[in-house]
Structure 1
Amino acid sequence: MHAIVIREPGGTDVLEWTEVPDPAPGPGEVLVDVAASAVNRADVMQRRGFYPPPDGAPPYPGLEASGTVAAVGADVTGWRPGDRVCALLAGGGYAERVAVPAGQLLPVPAGVDLVDAAALPEVACTVWSNVFQIARLAEGERFLVHGGGSGIGTMAIQLAKAYGATVACTVGSAAKGERCRGLGADQVINYREDDFVEHGPFDVILDHLGASYLARNIAALNADGRIAILGMQGGAKAELDLLALMAKRGSVSATGLRARPLDQKAAIVSAVREHVWPLLESGRVRPVVDRRIPMAGAAAAHRVMEDGGHVGKIVLTV
């Protein structure tokens, strides 16, 4: 098969579409013929040499994929060749085939295109686990997601709205703001012109900036509020004002998805199938795809990601 290989850490020119050995499904795994994958910030970090895959994961980037089941390994039930699926991966999505733990497979939702389904697993699992399982967003609460036009942001807006929250988001342009309003955002805050703290307090804040936003997130928090951090684009180290946090009885969580144990990932995927998939099949929530790019052109897709002008997901097609 062919896959995108990272020749060495560096810029987009180190991504190479080349022939590699075919994977084989081990016990408890399913082999998927990939139709599409999607680009995530973690892929860019891996390309630069800052985010190596966990032990045992394929060396190729790609944290999600969609396609058709080609074969099943020993001890696998519930899946058979020909099933249309999408999958949460620890790596290997930028390839023509990938072996997936059966617990990380999801059926393609009814009414969703097979290629567009590649844009769902990572964002759906990340948002559900952080916003609903950890931060416990409830109906009637105020929710803020930073980067509303991102893949995470577009999913978080839709899910929070579907579950009855009042939704705010930060964006970097008026055009992105309009797209977010179309997805259900009640309030759009242009971070280039306005301070989100002044629009608080918020019960739950979903943040990908990390260190640079920590103090302001606490300032914007409501009493008993919860901050869920899932990225460090603004740095990894910050001083935590415990007095300010304790005064609000607030909490801060910081999680990743890629390196979680298989049983935890399977539990998250199961919850997403139960709570998110019906919303996709009813049309209340949808994948937001900015553009499709052939997988051999992954370098161009990474440049789009790094330029930051996209809304939603960038999908790579086989």
Structure 2
Amino acid sequence: MRAYLYNGAGGPEVLDLTEVPDPVPGAGEVLIEVAGVGLNRADVMQRIGVYPPPKGVTNIPGLEVSGVVAAVGEGSDAWVQELKGKQVVALLAGGAYAEKVSVDARHVLPVPAGVDLVDAAGLIEVAATVHSNLRGEAKVAPRETVLVHGGTGGIGTFALQYLSALGATALTTVGNAEKAQLAEQLGAAHAINYREEDLVSRVKELTDGRGVDVIFDVVGAKYLQANLKSLAPDGRLVIIGLMGGRKAEADLGLMLAKRLRIIATTLRSRGADAKAEIVRGVGEEIWPLIENGQISIQTNKVFGFDEARAAQEYFDSGEHTGKVLLRL
């Protein structure tokens, strides 16, 4: 089959399309003929050499696909056998940039009703990330206020809609007026232009001086001080990305005084059982919200499989909102 590998570390030019052996599913696994691939920040971080795949995982990049189950591993249980021929999405630790993938059947969900098969490729990684962190880690409750950094990216556009469905109040950061308008359409109560407004003072203004209960952060070190100052008492800072660096100083006195918590998590390196539990939760709690229209699909642009370099160049530009996909 055809698949992409990174020929060294660098820009999108290091993506090489090559021939590799077809994966063979083991017991409890399914083989998926890929229809769509979702691009994620992790793909870029792996490409530049700072986020290698976990030990034992293929070097083929990509964390999520949609497609049709073509085969089932020998010795699989009956419920796994029943997946053959079904349209599904799958959460991966790697291997998505390929014509076929083999994956633990517990990390697979049916395509939500009414969703196009290729569009579905951009769902499972963001849904699992948002649900496992906002509900699983931060325990966001209705009527709490949550600040989402990067509200018009793949994670952000999903998180804003999910928070609205939960009955929470969402604030977000954006880079321009056009993105602010989109964020507010997706459920943000207010969009803060990080290029023009001071984050801490604007958050205090919007919350009557109290601060926010939860911050969902993909930036990391660059925003750490401002994030801690923007949290309300008993606030939780959930860090899932390091776009703004990995090292910064924290004011422990401020954290003690306000009883703050910093939670840092990744999804990719979790064990198979933990991922299975997350995927199960997504199927039970998130899929109904998609099927009833409370969360809409935010596909920004679809590239052909042969255009993976162009797709990553576009992703790197920061111009996109929502998800960028590859179509096979």
- Normalising to structure 2: TM-score of the pair? 0.95
Secondary structure of 1:276's counterpart equals helix
Q: Which amino acid aligns with 2:39?
A: V
1:258-279 C-alpha deviation (Å, 9 max, x unpaired): 0101000001011111110100
1: CA distance, partners of 2:78 / 2:320? 39
Q: Which amino acid aligns with 1:282?
A: N
Q: 1:246 deviation in Å?
A: 1.2
Tell me the equivalent position of 1:146: 149
Secondary structure of 1:292's counterpart equals strand
Tell me the equivalent position of 2:120: 117
Tell me the equivalent position of 1:202: 212
Tell me the equivalent position of 1:265: 275
1: CA distance, partners of 2:238 / 2:296? 23
Q: Which amino acid aligns with 1:206?
A: F
Query: Which aligned pairs between 1:57-206 and structure 2 lie closer than 5 A?
Result: 57-73=57-73, 74-79=75-80, 80-198=83-201, 199-200=203-204, 201-206=211-216
Tell me the equivalent position of 2:251: 241
2: CA distance, partners of 1:78 / 1:305? 37
Q: 1:76 deviation in Å?
A: 3.8
Tell me the equivalent position of 1:231: 241
Tell me the equivalent position of 1:22: 22
2: CA distance, partners of 1:210 / 1:7? 28
Q: 1:9 deviation in Å?
A: 1.5
Q: Number of residue pairs matched?
A: 318
Deviating 4+ runs (over 4 angstroms):
none
2: CA distance, partners of 1:291 / 1:285? 18
Task: Report sequence identity in percent.
Answer: 51
1: CA distance, partners of 2:28 / 2:306? 30
Gap regions ≥5 residues in structure 2: 205-210
Bigger mean CA deviation after superposition, 70-79 or 86-95: 70-79
Q: Which amino acid aligns with 2:240?
A: L
Q: 1:19 deviation in Å?
A: 1.5
What RMSD in Å do the two structures reach over aligned CA positions? 0.9
Q: 1:78 deviation in Å?
A: 2.3
Match of 1:213 among 184, 201, 223: 223
Tell me the equivalent position of 1:314: 324
Contact 1:145 1:170 in 2 (8 A): yes
Secondary structure of 1:186's counterpart equals strand
Secondary structure of 1:147's counterpart equals coil
Q: Does 1:282 align with 2:292?
A: yes
- Normalising to structure 1: TM-score of the pair? 0.98
1:2-59 C-alpha deviation (Å, 9 max, x unpaired): 1112122221111122211100101221110000111111101111121111122221
Gap regions ≥5 residues in structure 1: none
1: CA distance, partners of 2:77 / 2:138? 33
Q: 1:238 deviation in Å?
A: 1.0
1: CA distance, partners of 2:20 / 2:29? 20
Tell me the equivalent position of 2:260: 250
